[in-house]
Structure 1
Amino acid sequence: MCESQSKFLINEQITFFGAGSMAEAIIRGMTARSVVKRGGITVINRSNQARLEELQQQYGVLFQTEEAAKTELLRRSPVIVLAMKPKDAAAALGQLGPLLSEDQLIISVIAGLSIRTMQTLLGRKQPIARTMPNTSSSIGLGATGISFSKEISEDQRKNVLTMFESVGTVTVIEEEKMDILTGISGSGPAYIYYLMEAMIAGGIRGGLTPEQAHELTVQTALGAARMVQQTGEEPSALRHKIMSPNGSTVAALETLDKGDFYETVIAAVQRCAERSREMGAVLKEGIE
């Protein structure tokens, strides 16, 4: 029995309350890396049984659809991952609060919802981990920011870290920095995809086939990221190694600078963080 359990990083049952794309990304990453045993994850949502059946077929998760069974599951599950849409959070947390015991761990992937607001909605000082993963978690290359409430035990903290380290890297931060983290890693993949879209379009306009432009762009982005990761050098240092005086790379970057590329990216990160704060404020105001 001990040998059977020891190969899994997390032996406790995990309940996902919500079945959207982020829940699926985490589930896919965890199951692909055998973080939990088969049947160690149960998923519930409000009413979309077809979605639950889809997740079961793809990842071997369990699900419940009967209201009484869902209530009992939430009452006894040691780890509950809140993965519903922000607009549904208030009702879900209000429903959840009376069912909980003090040692149940709540992990939130709901954007903009603070630990304090969640505890207010629950009506109790529950152990909470507020997280901001990104969709690259589905292939084990996610970047997740985590903030912990003071009620978290050391074992619960380890479980949360294990869960998200299994799908990428983890950065533990003070909760007030969660919005700027959202601007970098939470929404960051979209910036990279947008840049890749433009590079592919440039290749096609220059005469490459769509397949050639796509393959070259993907490998270039992958190689550049790995260079930063594996060499430990700063991006600026690696950039300068490519820039021969009066060369083609310099000409390309001068064109980007004409569009104020560097400052525009910084502004995008800051605007994303600002919008995250705005959404959090609206959500809190609506709840109150």
Structure 2
Amino acid sequence: MDTKQSIVFVGAGSMAEAMISGMLQKELFLPRQISVMNRSNSDRLEYLYQTYGICIAKNKQEAIEKANIIILAMKPKDVVEGISAIRDFVNEEQLVISVLAGVSTHTITDLLQKQLPVVRAMPNTSATIGKSATALSAGLIANKKQLTLSKQLFETIGIVTTVNEEDLHAVTGLSGSGPAYVYYLVESMEKAAEEIGLEKGIAKELILQTIIGAAEMLKHTSKHPAILRKEVTSPGGTTEAGLSILEQFHYQEAMISCIKHATDKSVELGAALTQAVSNLD
């Protein structure tokens, strides 16, 4: 930890809180090194102050100017307004890290109207329990040292990998939105458990441990998931009967289409924002 470094979050939602919590738990920063601001929700800022002891950025200009790292954590729809509010106070020596889905590093530098190093991150909501799968991509100006620093920040909330920026749309469709796909699966399993007469609490415990166990199996073996599936599937048995229904409803094709469609939507949203920014010129 570098006690001379300071970091400011522009946006105070759940992702900002997850990162703040992770960085403090891993002692990457002290509370006094972290500031947070948002557009208007003072109750949210007070909550973060009371919970983590961090600083509330009451003076926006001062907080931005003194920060070494600026993390853009507002909603993507608010990016134009959010960056416009701080761009007069940033300088080329600072590192900007964005967790805004679909917003390119080029768009961010255009909005900042300065050539700052920008690193894009695509974490997911499991960051709130330190289990995020995060992908990072460096903009044109960001160097290896800045990418390494960004990686250290996101390792406080889970695992981190680096990808080319054009691949972040695919990451968004796969792991960014991925927790929702798993939650939907659990919803379905819980409804099925109810229909076959299992008590709700027992069913939930069994479902969660089944998913955790399967994930651990995938993590700790080199076997392809198709092999693991076949090892569970006895000819003429119960698993085969269940899987036959999934095949009948084209489960695998549906999941592939789901991820592709989410990826396409990320591309679409990014293109629309890029166009909106270019119209401002």
Q: Is the 8 A contact 2:71 2:96 kept in 1?
A: yes
**What are the ranges of 5 or more consecutive residues in structure 2 without an aligned counterpart?**
none
2:238 aligns with 248
The two structures, once aligned, show a CA RMSD in angstroms of 1.5
Amino acid of the residue matched to residue 221 of structure 1? Answer: I
1:190 aligns with 180
Q: Is the 8 A contact 1:203 1:213 kept in 2?
A: yes
2:40 aligns with 47
1:95-134 equivalent positions in 2, closer than 5 A: 95-134=85-124
**How far off is 1:230 after superposition?**
1.4
**How far off is 1:280 after superposition?**
1.2
Aligned equivalents of 1:211 and 1:33: distance in 2?
Answer: 34
TM-score (norm 2): 0.94
1:169 aligns with 159
2:170 aligns with 180
Residue by residue over 1:239-282, the C-alpha shift from the partner in whole angstroms, topping out at 9 and shown as x without a partner, is 11101111111111110111100000000000000111111122
Q: Report whether the alignment pairs 1:90 with 2:80.
A: yes
1:57 aligns with 50
Task: Please list every run of at least 4 consecutive aligned residues from structure 1 whose deviation after the TM superposition is greater than 3 angstroms.
Answer: 8-11
**How far off is 1:28 after superposition?**
2.5
**How far off is 1:17 after superposition?**
0.3
Aligned equivalents of 1:230 and 1:32: distance in 2?
Answer: 27
2:10 aligns with 17
Compared with structure 1, are the counterparts of its residues 113 and 10 closer, same or farther at alpha carbon in structure 2 (3 Å cutoff)? Answer: farther
Amino acid of the residue matched to residue 44 of structure 1? Answer: M
Compared with structure 1, are the counterparts of its residues 9 and 223 closer, same or farther at alpha carbon in structure 2 (3 Å cutoff)? Answer: farther
**How far off is 1:45 after superposition?**
0.5
Match of 1:72 among 52, 62, 68: 62
The SS at the match of 1:39 is helix
1:20-31 equivalent positions in 2, closer than 5 A: 20-31=13-24
Identity %: 40
Match of 1:203 among 168, 190, 193: 193
Residue by residue over 1:186-215, the C-alpha shift from the partner in whole angstroms, topping out at 9 and shown as x without a partner, is 000000010011111111211111111111
Aligned equivalents of 2:94 and 2:71: distance in 1?
Answer: 11
**How far off is 1:176 after superposition?**
0.8
**What are the ranges of 5 or more consecutive residues in structure 1 without an aligned counterpart?**
1-7
Compared with structure 1, are the counterparts of its residues 126 and 40 closer, same or farther at alpha carbon in structure 2 (3 Å cutoff)? Answer: same
TM-score (norm 1): 0.92
Q: Is the 8 A contact 2:19 2:156 kept in 1?
A: no
**How far off is 1:233 after superposition?**
2.3
Give the stretch that moved more between structures: 8-17 or 137-146.
8-17
Aligned equivalents of 2:55 and 2:31: distance in 1?
Answer: 9
The SS at the match of 2:74 is coil
Q: Is the 8 A contact 1:11 1:37 kept in 2?
A: no
Aligned equivalents of 1:16 and 1:261: distance in 2?
Answer: 40
Match of 1:232 among 222, 239, 255: 222
**How far off is 1:22 after superposition?**
1.7
**How far off is 1:10 after superposition?**
7.9
